[in-house]
Amino acid sequence: MPYDSGLAFVRDAQALSASMAVSADYLPAAGALRHPSHYTPELSRRARGVDVWAALHALGRSGTADLVERTCRLAALFAQQLSAAGYPVLNEVVLNQVLVSFGDAPTTAEVVGRVQREGTCWCGATVWQGRPAMRISVSNWATTEQDVARSVAAMVACARAAGAYGSGGRMHPAA
């Protein structure tokens, strides 16, 4: 589950529980039961662990590893293809996130908006180390290399329509 979940695998469950447990008069006493609220800092949030448990149960260790490795590999493919098209990738792609620049803030915002309206994929805008960027997050288990190629083609078309050329800036009026 790439979003809305965070896990810490620890060797000492008692130390984790001691650091996270919450007690209040309105909460039931823990007793002998394992209370999930003693293992997470987000007592009032929904049971995010159920989604994670279901994915781990269905995929197993090797399936989960494959999912992580595949989304990271596809993110690297996004970076490679966008870089080859002349758009600077701002981050070292080590996980499933890619940050690509299309020039200044207004141009990047325009490209992001065009990509969102075009509908092939969805990417958001961000700022990375002071530079505006489009944030690509590969998180769907069904994403393929063909999806990456289709998405990059749409991104490049949207960038060109916004006047962003391959060096990440604005085209000159005479171009």
Residue 62: CB atoms within 10 Å: 8
* Mean pLDDT value across the chain: 84
Q: What is the mean pLDDT of residues 109-121?
A: 96
Picking from 24, 69, 64, the residue whose alpha carbon sits closest to that of residue 44 is 24
pTM, full prediction: 0.73
Q: How far apart are alpha carbons 72 and 92 in whole angstroms?
A: 12
Contact present, 96 and 2 (Cβ < 8 Å): yes
Angle between helix 145-161 and helix 105-118 axes, rounded to 10 deg: 130
Please give the residue that has the higher pLDDT: either 108 or 169: 108
Segment 147-175, tens digit of pLDDT? 999 999 999 999 999 999 776 444 433 33
Within 8 A by CB and 6+ apart from 16, the residues are 8, 10, 39
Q: What is the pLDDT of residue 14?
A: 84
Give the Å distances, CA to CA, from 109 to 127, 138, 153.
11, 20, 18
Beta strands at 97-100 and 124-128: parallel, antiparallel or unpaired? unpaired
Q: How far apart are alpha carbons 19 and 40 in whole angstroms?
A: 9
Domain with CATH 3.90.1150.10 in the chain: 68-161
| 68-161, CATH topology level | Aspartate Aminotransferase, domain 1 (3.90.1150)
